């Protein structure tokens, strides 16, 4: 479970203004909203990468806010994250995917690493690409490598920041299907940000919508589609008129 209580964050101006939300265990929670509404900042706050000015973040029974780096490291080991811009290292595919394993378990053998990496690559439909340079891969392939890296330690929580940004519709749906399959296989708790509203709603269990730093909607996919709030309706149904 992920729980956020009265989260505030500002940079030059307010970014998040009193956000409260809860992601139940085993849920795929889609966080929607227009650009610059604070979605990515909120995801990084959950991961302990950004500290809020005010409020509390709970990952399971552990409070993330106020922890020192040593305590945060232990919490982050329970979280896998796919960054919007891939964030892949200038290393082989194998070394990118293996990085979280090596960080979590320095004593792990090279044989075990190779086996785990091969299993992940098979799972994301990229078998035999261990020695490839990620720079030579397509956007969709890089996203799959990112999913493999985020999931290799089998964390109970996964955070996806724009997992289909820049991809064509067919590849996007394959990434969404992969996210759903991984979640079902391990009952993972997932938060996903996506500007592809129609696509992400095909896999989401619950939906939240940020607007001007505030959570203006929190409910099921059906409730989001049936909402009479003009801002929610405009975003969910792709309308051109309205307040956004």
- Kindly report, residue by residue over 37-83, the tens digit of the pLDDT: 889 999 999 998 999 999 999 998 888 887 888 888 888 889 999 98
> In the chain, what are the domain boundaries?
1-78+157-244, 89-154
Average pLDDT for the chain: 90
CB-CB contact of 21 with 4 (8 Å): yes
Instruction: Give the architecture-level CATH label for domain 1-78+157-244.
Output: 3-Layer(aba) Sandwich (3.40)
Whether residue 133 has pLDDT greater than 60: yes
- Kindly report, residue by residue over 157-171, the tens digit of the pLDDT: 999 999 988 888 888
pLDDT of the residue at 244:
46
pLDDT of the residue at 243:
46
Exposure b/e, 114-134, CB count within 10 A at least 16 = b: eebbbebbebbebeebbebeb
pLDDT of the residue at 15:
94
Burial of 111 (C-beta count, 10 Å sphere; 0-12/13-18/19+): exposed
* Residue % of the chain over a pLDDT of 90: 59
pTM, rounded to two decimals: 0.90
- How far CA 74 is from CA of 26, 63, 71, in Å, comes to 21, 12, 5
Q: What's the longest Cα–Cα distance across the chain? A: 58
Whether residue 242 has pLDDT greater than 60: no
For residue 239, name the pLDDT band (cuts at 50, 70, 90).
low
- Kindly report, residue by residue over 170-186, the tens digit of the pLDDT: 888 888 998 999 899 99
């Amino acid at each position: 479970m992920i729980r956020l209580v009265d989260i505030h964050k500002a940079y030059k101006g307010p970014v998040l203004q009193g956000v409260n939300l809860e992601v139940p265990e085993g849920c795929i929670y889609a966080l929607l909203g227009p650009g610059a509404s604070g979605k990515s900042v909120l995801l990084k706050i959950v991961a302990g990468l950004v500290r809020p000015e005010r409020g509390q973040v709970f990952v399971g029974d552990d409070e993330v806010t106020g922890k020192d780096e040593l305590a945060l490291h232990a919490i982050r080991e329970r979280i896998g994250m796919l960054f919007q811009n891939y964030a892949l290292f200038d290393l082989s595919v194998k070394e990118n995917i293996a990085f979280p394993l090596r960080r979590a378990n320095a004593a792990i053998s090279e044989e075990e690493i190779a086996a785990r990496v091969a299993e992940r690559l098979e799972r994301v439909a990229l078998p035999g690409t261990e020695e490839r340079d990620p720079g030579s891969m397509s956007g969709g392939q890089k996203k799959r490598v990112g999913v493999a890296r985020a999931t290799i330690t089998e964390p109970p929580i996964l955070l996806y920041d724009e997992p289909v940004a820049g991809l064509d519709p067919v590849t996007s749906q394959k990434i969404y299907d992969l996210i759903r399959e991984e979640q079902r296989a391990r009952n993972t708790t997932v938060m996903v940000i996506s500007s592809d509203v129609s696509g992400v709603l095909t896999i989401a269990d619950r939906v939240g919508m940020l607007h001007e730093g505030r959570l203006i909607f929190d409910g099921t996919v059906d409730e989001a589609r049936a909402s009479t709030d003009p801002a929610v309706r405009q975003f969910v149904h792709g309308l051109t008129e309205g307040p956004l």
